[in-house]
Structure 1
Amino acid sequence: MPFLILLLFIAVPIAEIALFIEIGGAIGTVWTVITIFATAIIGTWLVRQQGLQTMERARAAMNRNQMPVDEVIAGLCILVAGALLLTPGFLTDALGFVLLIPPLRAALAKTIIGSMRASGRFHVHAGGLGRAGNPPGGGPGRGGRGPVIDGEFEDVSDPNPNSPWNRDDNQGGNESLPPSDDTPERKP
């Protein structure tokens, strides 16, 4: 994977330079620069519009107590498209505009989600309560299993069986537990 990234960092600028030379020779330097600025401006406008639409769809999905997984992946695609469109070059602009086409973005999202699920590393956990105080998946009265509480624990028992902390009331005599840090000490 690191080799692939290194190869991209070398190959993409070389391809961009070659495209600048070819297109600049065909349409001229001034029109090449104008085209690069125009694609950046148009791309920024499209990224803004589609980003706002995606945020609205994500908000609507969360209001329906659904996880906005498709919208998150679409948002990531729009973010990458914006970075590509702001990078000067014809190849990066073409890839950025491709990521702004909603059907292609949806197909890419479906592919990404499918590969993540197939790998077994993709789990969606929804927490919190819905609008009426019910868990999003339904409470026990609505056919759901109820809320899931995830937690950690630590065994804090003393390994010494003769410790006063481990004695029952029948074994312990008149010892009292020491006061905790948050309670005031009692004086006899």
Structure 2
Amino acid sequence: MTLPPGNRTGRRRIRWIPLAIVLVVILEIAVFVGVARLIGVLPTVIVVLTLSTLGAFLVRREGRRTWRALEQALRSGKMPNREIADAILVVAGGALLFIPGLVTSVVGLVFALPFTRPVARIGLEVVVARRLLAAGVGGEVRVRRTRPRGEDDVVEGEIIDDDE
């Protein structure tokens, strides 16, 4: 029995997960040792514990705030793209903050902090857009300007699906 191409690609990607976990553990140990050499072992442990505690508090607060924003967007009839992306980032940030380590904690904080989340959201949007384009979703994109250049950064466009 042969598998559809999409399933084989997914299985190939899953094979890399154990290697990625090992690399993250090695990176975390190397960073921990490096920081411990600079400031000492006890201060490094305190930093890791403080980041985890701060992260737990932050994820709880930002999770509530994100949930309220999502509910408000849905009540107003607005498409909650930003709110969904924020919810994904807060959950991912929370997961990373629960993993003991300096690197994962810093990345988790970038995902969870409200003033760094917009940068992480752009990265998430790029990843999702690439996945959609690779999957062939979206068809041709045509963009037309409705205002003269320089007046506003808003660009209206339409997606034309070739399958119809």
TM-score using structure 2 length: 0.66
Secondary structure of 1:66's counterpart equals coil
Q: After the TM superposition, which residues 67-146 of structure 1 pair with which residues of structure 2 at under 5 Å, given as runs? A: 67-100=79-112, 101-118=116-133, 119-121=135-137
* Contact kept? 1:77, 1:99, Cα under 8 Å: yes
Give, in whole Å, the separation in 2 of the partners of 1:49 and 1:56. Answer: 11
Secondary structure of 2:16's counterpart equals helix
Which residue identity is paired with 1:39? L
**Number of the residue aligned with 1:7:** 19
Q: 1:67 to 1:113 in 2, by over 3 A?
A: farther
Give, in whole Å, the separation in 2 of the partners of 1:25 and 1:113. Answer: 39
**Number of the residue aligned with 2:153:** none
Stretches (4+) displaced over 6 A:
none
Bigger fraction of residues in strand: 2
Q: 1:112 to 1:60 in 2, by over 3 A?
A: farther
Displacement of 1:47 in angstroms is 1.3
Instruction: Pick from 22, 29, 41 the counterpart of residue 29 of structure 1.
Output: 41
Give the share of equivalent positions with the same residue, in percent: 28
The gaps in structure 1 that reach 5 residues or longer are: 123-188
Q: 1:94 to 1:113 in 2, by over 3 A?
A: same
The gaps in structure 2 that reach 5 residues or longer are: 1-12, 139-164
Give, in whole Å, the separation in 2 of the partners of 1:52 and 1:74. Answer: 11
String of CA shifts for 1:5-25, please: whole Å, max 9, x gaps. Answer: 222111011111111211112
- Superposition RMSD in Å: 1.9
